[in-house]
Amino acid sequence: INEKQALITGLAFSKNRLQLFPAGMYTNLFSTTLKIGMASSWSEKWSTTIVALPKIASDYENISGKDFYLGGFAVLKFQKKENLIYRFGAYGSQEAFGFFTTPIIGWYYLSPNQRFEMDMSLPIAADISYKLGAVSVGADYIGIGRSFNLTSNDMPDWYVDLSSLEFATYAQVGVLDKSVLLRSKVGYSSNNYEVYPQGEKIDLGVSAFSFGDDRTQLNPNLGGGIFLKFEAIYRFRLPNKKEIIETPTN
């Protein structure tokens, strides 16, 4: 937009196909998230990022307003050194199970030789990598909860509460002057898809804690497993800043 502000846009789509019940039919769970926000630089030391994350998440059988959820995050950054940035903020999202929020505390660090990189936004995500020529290798972690509305005529009024923890190692290469990262990942996911009746909610979800959770789970717990994933990550750099804003799509 100008020398001190950059528009952030993106679109993320995911599909999961699984059995929610041991003897049940397979169910498709879709999620489409629009990312739109603003990155602003206020001084040599301070900057902010504010992003809205509206999404439609359900089996996409009979889409209605119940499938629409609104979330977002806001982060304040302090550039301690040329290669070290601290960040503080919060993430929040209205889900089928109620409102979920978590603080964000982290940092971005790039070693003087520009080989070792850390991008931490705890407790949501962590990414550590090392550059070996044109290829970088690393490990990352992503952990966040979300929900899907079940709208099929064959289903009662239910929703799915997904608790997800993903740990992975990866190899990546940068293209288009390193503005796009192509990443191949293999890892373990502890995805747990819990089915609940519509209308049963918690009072509040904060990070890994749920307050006022009197819901009755309708299906057995599902085990995790190994996954293989390919990602394209778009990197937006603020003018005259070392900081990088990343928008992943799966």
Main-chain phi, psi angles of 65, to 5 degrees: -65, -20
Q: Please state the pTM of the whole predicted model.
A: 0.82
pLDDT confidence of residue 250: 40
Give the C-alpha distances (Å, rounded to integers) separating 24 from 18, 30, 84, 219, 220: 10, 18, 50, 10, 12
What pLDDT digit, counting tens, does each position of 164-208 carry? 899 999 999 988 766 788 989 999 998 899 999 999 999 999 987
For 12-69, how does the pLDDT look when each residue is reduced to its tens digit (9 = 90+)? 889 889 999 998 899 999 999 999 999 999 999 999 999 999 999 999 999 999 999 9
pLDDT at 243 over 90: no
Question: Mean pLDDT score of the chain, rounded to an integer?
Answer: 90
User: Rounded to whole angstroms, what are the CA distances from 79 to 45, 75, 156, 235?
Assistant: 5, 13, 51, 18
Helix then strand count (H, E) for the chain reads 0, 16
Tokens of 29: 């769970």
Q: Give percent above pLDDT 90 in the chain.
A: 69
Q: Which domain holds residue 177?
A: 5-249
Q: How many folded domains does the chain comprise?
A: 1
